[in-house]
Amino acid sequence: MKVSACTFIRNGQLLGYPFVESIRSILPIVDEFVIAVGQGDDDTLAILQAMNEPKLHLIKTVWNDNMRVKGYVYGQQKMLAQFACSGEWIFYLEGDEVVHESDLSVIQASMQKHLDDPEVEALIFDYLHFYGNANTYLWSPGWYRRAPRIIKASVRSYAPDGLFWLVLDSNKHGRYPKAAHAGASMYHYGWVRSEAQMNLKASRVEKYWNKQNAAIDYRDMDARILREFTGTHPQIVQGWLPKEPGLFQVNPDYRPTRKQQKHWWMLQLENRFGLELSKKHYKRVR
């Protein structure tokens, strides 16, 4: 079984991504790691080259600033990397996502188990969306709880944006991939970087989503969806994480938006009726 990994990155250093830690977290279980490195304003390419890692395959790219349709340039960059992969499985990992070392053998076993199963096209992960600091994560249907991150190379797939895949059964019709659970979690740290880095990132990428982002203040969050993390973080990322004690403290006078209120009531429905109402970019088959 040959396993490829892929990602895309641009200005990873400038925008505060733990991209080196992300890459290293799955290197032990992949045979190659293809990275589309966008031309940027920092040392991201030099940092990747300095890793001196024989499994890395770096592809230099230039982002098309004319792609203004809801993240399509993200999909393009993701597919540039994916199309260069040569494995039977393709493990897509974003630059702020890290896998725990204790999950590597489980993921590897899951890929081996489902390799020849035609009903399984992808593997999904449980998500931990950390927020504000390393001790706090968000639990709400507004934050996807599971997502596919591994897909078979034999599947005719493409990415409308960076987050998910569609599978083409014909030239005209796409669907979400049929997926089994990988048996592991994905540690998402995008909202742990500094507010300054997050606001810079938002201002840099808003044109690719054809919208204007409001200024981000981490304290403006619905306190009712904050949860305390009592587990352990991946060892590879512990040196990157901010050292702050306790649950992240939000503004006590903050009034949740209409959208956040909607998600809160969805959460109440989940709790009462045993539902799971978060967005799903897959069809669960196992």
Lowest mean pLDDT among 16-20, 55-59, 209-213: 209-213
Each residue's pLDDT tens digit, 77-105 = 999 999 999 999 999 999 999 999 999 99
Per-residue pLDDT at 286 exceeds 90: no
Contact 76, 64 (CB under 8 A): yes
Q: Domains in the chain and their CATH numbers?
A: 1-286 (3.90.550)
For position 226, what pLDDT does the model report?
A: 98
Contact 226, 136 (CB under 8 A): yes
Spatial distance between the Cα atoms of 272 and 286, rounded to a whole number of angstroms: 25
- Strand 166-168 and strand 122-131: the pairing is unpaired
Each residue's pLDDT tens digit, 152-178 = 999 999 998 888 999 999 888 899 999
Each residue's pLDDT tens digit, 35-67 = 999 999 999 999 999 999 999 999 999 999 887
Spatial distance between the Cα atoms of 121 and 169, rounded to a whole number of angstroms: 12
Does the predicted TM-score (pTM) go above 0.85? yes
What share of the chain has pLDDT > 90, as a percent?
Answer: 87
* Of 63, 107, 60, the residue nearest 84 (C-alpha): 60
**What is the CA angle 89-91-95, rounded to 5?**
165
